[in-house]
Amino acid sequence: MLKWLKKKNAPATSMETAQKSSDVRVEDPAVAENLGGESNFSPVPASRTDEMLKVPEKKRKVPPEEVMPVMIEASDERDSVMDLVLGEEENVREEEERSEHPDCWSWEQYENKCKEYPWLTSSKGKLGCKICREVKNLGTETSQGVHFSLEWVNSSVSSYGPTKEKQHSALRKKMYLHKSSACHLKAVAILDVRTCESITQLNSRMQVKLYEDTCRVFRSAYKIGKHERPFTDLPLDVDVQRMNGVDLGRVLHSDHSCADIIEHIATTMRAKLVHHILQNESKISVLIDESTTFSKLTTLIICIRACIEKEDPPLTFFLDLVELPGTSAEIIFDKLLACLQSYGLTDDYLRMHLIQLVTDGASNMIGRKSGVGTLLKIKYPQLTIWHCANHKLELAVGDVSKEVTGINQLKIFFDKLYATYHASPKNQRELGECAAQVEVRLLKIGKILDIRWVASSERSVKAVWNNYKALNKHFGESSCDTARSEIERNKYCGLNRMLTSTVFVENLGIMFDALTELGDLSRQLQRRDMTLYEADRIIQTHIYVFESMALSPGPYATATATAVEQMKFNGIQLQHSNTKGCISISRAQFFRSLTNNICQRMTIATASNLSKNTSNREGEIEYKQLIDAYKLLNPHYWPVPVDIQYGDADLQAFCDKLHVFDARQYINAFRDYKQNKDCMIPIQLKPLARIVETFSTSTADCERGFSVMNDVLTPLRNRMSVTRLSSVMFLKIVGPPVTEFIPHCYVRKWLQKGRRSADATNCMARRQVVNESAYKHIWNVLASE
């Protein structure tokens, strides 16, 4: 046998190969020529084709495709032959299946059971489960006491019983129990998921879930930053939301993650705002101020005023808080430029678009020789250095208190009242009881003409005016209280004598009139939408009011004058005072001094001192140029009749100073505006009007930022870094409300930086009121995708 196999599988000899190759006819002459033989081309007859089909495939030699042409005529016969062969194979397979089903069932019974139980299969007369055999492993669905039955997986379930009825009953019971088993049901669910969703779809759904979980974590962290809550609130918020049935993943739940998320959101928001400014090529004004944190760190707050969108008016918003290693002008200058350039405001952009620097009156800020403003003006010649209008107003009021006698004595009396009730809860409680007895609503008494702005002084004077009866009652009772020492009784007796003197009541009325107007002026200058022209108009109006009060008394001075004539004020008997502390304030001198100091302080741009030096005159000229530029766009200030060339040269000079290109376009639009004399500024001049409105008048936004900083940086959080503090302040001041915050764009940038999502790993990571209506159109930018 072995010799026969070797002989059969042995390779053919060269003689046999040659004999076989000679029997092959080559019909293609080109192929024959390539083979080196003669061309014997002749068409193959149909009879020859039939003979070739009858020869078995193993014995018939089939030439290669490139040698033998395709014979289309024989395709139908070959298909019919293949159908017969396939039909025979199906019959054989059916017979094999008939032989594999259990002996106690007929073939019809087996088919019926397969229809009732689609997962049923059989092998060698025994039953099995297709689904359990295909799944084999429950994976994440594994639980205690649930496992696959090896009999059903290996198709080895058999029947038992002496009769067919008992065998049928046994198989029915086994199939029913297996159908309702927990393992089989989980296997069916797993197979359904496999058939319904591909791996790509499963991965997509998983990524969507992780993305949504991360968005929920971002929203929770944003709420903490927006409402100045500690970062340690995030783990507790996550636990509460889990108890409410909200899934927030398994990571990014620590206080460190909360701080990183808040910093990421604030940085992205800043970048988005600056990107819109750069995209629109808006002119910008920079507002700066310095202060000290609770942990004694010197910081510089930076705000920007610009048009976020071309159609929207300019708005001032908080940009960043920078730690200063020193307070010299050079250090502040370097830190300011580094901060602006870090957000994309390059040196070239600032040279063309930075138009104003607004700061307080500190010498290192607006010093004429080496201040921050001077250093910036050397680098950017078009820059306008502006002294904050609110600070200039405070300086003007301070000059008045030095010139007019009687103001310091009134200030000292208010300081004594503040010390009496601020430092003693007992006195505060007794004053409240006295106020309740005389049916007066008690107001808080503070200092006047202190480091705070004049609006707070107005509240203090109003509190004394309102609490006059309660103060008189408390001073009278305390001066007769035997439980107090003689020194205390004498002190309260002297305070009551000063309170009921006619001189004090007259001074109180004069000061109340002045501080009411000054407080109103200060609050109006603090508005975010205040422009230079409107501020100048309001200042001029109040100057006229003070000039009028110098000639005729105001409403409160009139009321106190009537009370002095009747010797009774608010139902309290008054008395003429002979003490040295009661010095009468000359109403005419007071208001004239106030008028002169406001005119000298408030109508210049840079310097605010009273000496008429060169810098002061330059500040007046610059202030006048800015006001005149705004008046050009207001037909109310045009001469009658207006010349067609009126204001063209001033408009050209203004455009050249601020590097505004296409000045001819604005001049032509201005000429059309003068001819039409419409009340509304034409669309062609709107960009120029937006540039004029970009000039700011006050650093009130910097002061508001410091108020927020004091609220955030409590004694328990005094070690927070300035970077974290700046992020929380930005979200508090500029960020949209929590209900309008859309975290998706910030999550995408977070993931693009390679940060983890909320469920990226199995490890556990648990370890001043802002005026919201002013930022509506900024929120539209920040809330967009």
745-774 pLDDT, tens per residue?
777 777 777 665 555 433 333 334 445 556
Name residue 302's beta-bridge partners.
Answer: 288, 320
Same domain, 146 and 181: yes
The predicted pLDDT at position 718 comes to 64
Tell which of 178, 196, 214 closes a domain. Answer: 196
Name residue 127's beta-bridge partners.
Answer: 122, 157
The predicted pLDDT at position 763 comes to 35
CB contact at 8 A, 701 and 362: no
**Arithmetic mean of pLDDT, 262-268:** 89
Mean pLDDT lowest among 290-294, 508-512, 523-527, 696-700: 290-294
Tell which of 550, 576, 602 closes a domain. Answer: 602
Same domain, 584 and 438: yes
Locus of tokens 């089989």: 184
**pLDDT(372) > 80:** yes
The predicted pLDDT at position 331 comes to 92
More confident site: 732 or 776: 732
**Arithmetic mean of pLDDT, 157-183:** 85
Same domain, 418 and 498: yes
Whole-angstrom Cα Rg for the chain: 47
pLDDT band at 287 (very low <50, low <70, confident <90, very high): very high
Question: Six-digit token pair at 134?
Answer: 């295909």
pLDDT in tens, 205-247: 667 788 888 888 888 998 888 888 888 888 888 888 888 888 8
Give SS3 for 285.
Answer: strand
**Arithmetic mean of pLDDT, 275-292:** 90
The predicted pLDDT at position 455 comes to 80
Contacts 24+ apart (CB under 8 A), 780-785: 781/272, 781/273, 781/276, 781/308, 781/309, 782/269, 782/272, 782/273, 782/734, 782/735, 782/736, 783/736, 783/740, 783/741, 783/742, 784/742, 784/745, 785/742, 785/744, 785/745
The predicted pLDDT at position 764 comes to 33
Q: What is the mean pLDDT of the chain?
A: 77
Question: Distance between terminal CA atoms of the chain?
Answer: 83
Same domain, 266 and 346: yes
Report d(CA 457, CA 445) in Å as an integer. Answer: 10
3-state helix, strand and coil shares in percent for the chain, rounded to the nearest 5: 60, 5, 30
**pLDDT(91) > 60:** no
Write b or e for each residue in 466-478: b if 16 or more Cβ atoms lie within 10 A of its Cβ, otherwise e.
bbbbbbbbbbbeb
More confident site: 314 or 60: 314
pLDDT band at 284 (very low <50, low <70, confident <90, very high): very high
The predicted pLDDT at position 603 comes to 80
Mean pLDDT lowest among 118-127, 401-410, 536-545, 767-776: 767-776
Percentage of the chain beyond pLDDT 70 is 77
**pLDDT(531) > 80:** yes
Same domain, 558 and 636: no
The predicted pLDDT at position 405 comes to 82
DSSP 321: E
CB count within 10 Å of CB 776 equals: 12
Tell which of 602, 636, 670 closes a domain. Answer: 602
Contacts 24+ apart (CB under 8 A), 85-92: none
Q: Burial, 678: exposed, middle or buried (Cβ in 10 Å; 0-12, 13-18, 19+)?
A: exposed
Report d(CA 461, CA 385) in Å as an integer. Answer: 35
Percentage of the chain beyond pLDDT 90 is 6
Same domain, 567 and 672: no
Is 494 inside any structural domain? yes
**pLDDT(116) > 50:** yes
Is 47 inside any structural domain? no
Mean pLDDT lowest among 90-104, 402-416, 590-604: 90-104
Same domain, 552 and 689: no
Write b or e for each residue in 625-650: b if 16 or more Cβ atoms lie within 10 A of its Cβ, otherwise e.
ebbebbbbbeeeebeeeeeeebbbee
Same domain, 654 and 688: yes
CB contact at 8 A, 157 and 174: yes
Quote the domain boundaries for residue 296.
Answer: 259-388+699-776
Question: Six-digit token pair at 59?
Answer: 């014995």
The predicted pLDDT at position 203 comes to 64
Contacts of 581 (CB under 8 A, 6+ apart): 409, 412, 413, 498
Name residue 354's beta-bridge partners.
Answer: 284
Of 42-46, 146-150, 180-184, 420-424, the range with the highest mean pLDDT is 180-184
Same domain, 528 and 515: yes
pLDDT band at 677 (very low <50, low <70, confident <90, very high): low
More confident site: 304 or 21: 304
Name residue 426's beta-bridge partners.
Answer: none
Is 324 inside any structural domain? yes
CB contact at 8 A, 562 and 532: no
**Arithmetic mean of pLDDT, 530-544:** 89
The predicted pLDDT at position 144 comes to 76
Report d(CA 302, CA 705) in Å as an integer. Answer: 9
The predicted pLDDT at position 49 comes to 39
**pLDDT(545) > 80:** yes
Is 80 inside any structural domain? no
Report d(CA 288, CA 365) in Å as an integer. Answer: 9
CB contact at 8 A, 189 and 138: no
pLDDT in tens, 572-629: 888 886 656 578 888 899 899 999 988 888 888 765 554 444 455 667 777 787 888 7
Report d(CA 606, CA 621) in Å as an integer. Answer: 10
The predicted pLDDT at position 543 comes to 92
pLDDT band at 419 (very low <50, low <70, confident <90, very high): confident
The pTM of this model reads 0.67
Is 229 inside any structural domain? no
Is 309 inside any structural domain? yes
Number of structural domains, the chain? 4
Q: Burial, 581: exposed, middle or buried (Cβ in 10 Å; 0-12, 13-18, 19+)?
A: middle
How far out from the chain centre does Cα 440 lie? 46
Contacts of 651 (CB under 8 A, 6+ apart): 629, 632, 663, 666, 667, 670, 688
pLDDT in tens, 449-470: 777 778 888 888 888 888 888 8
pLDDT band at 479 (very low <50, low <70, confident <90, very high): confident
pLDDT in tens, 30-79: 434 433 444 443 444 444 434 444 444 443 444 444 433 444 344 444 44
The predicted pLDDT at position 434 comes to 82
Same domain, 301 and 447: no
Same domain, 353 and 432: no
Is 19 inside any structural domain? no
Question: Six-digit token pair at 416?
Answer: 């004594």
Residue type, 455: A
**Arithmetic mean of pLDDT, 704-716:** 80
**pLDDT(272) > 80:** yes
The predicted pLDDT at position 178 comes to 87
CB contact at 8 A, 478 and 484: yes
Same domain, 496 and 620: no
Is 143 inside any structural domain? yes
Report d(CA 169, CA 491) in Å as an integer. Answer: 110
Locus of tokens 């490139």: 66
Report d(CA 549, CA 594) in Å as an integer. Answer: 11
User: What is the H or E stretch that residue 423 is in?
Assistant: none
How far out from the chain centre does Cα 395 lie? 38
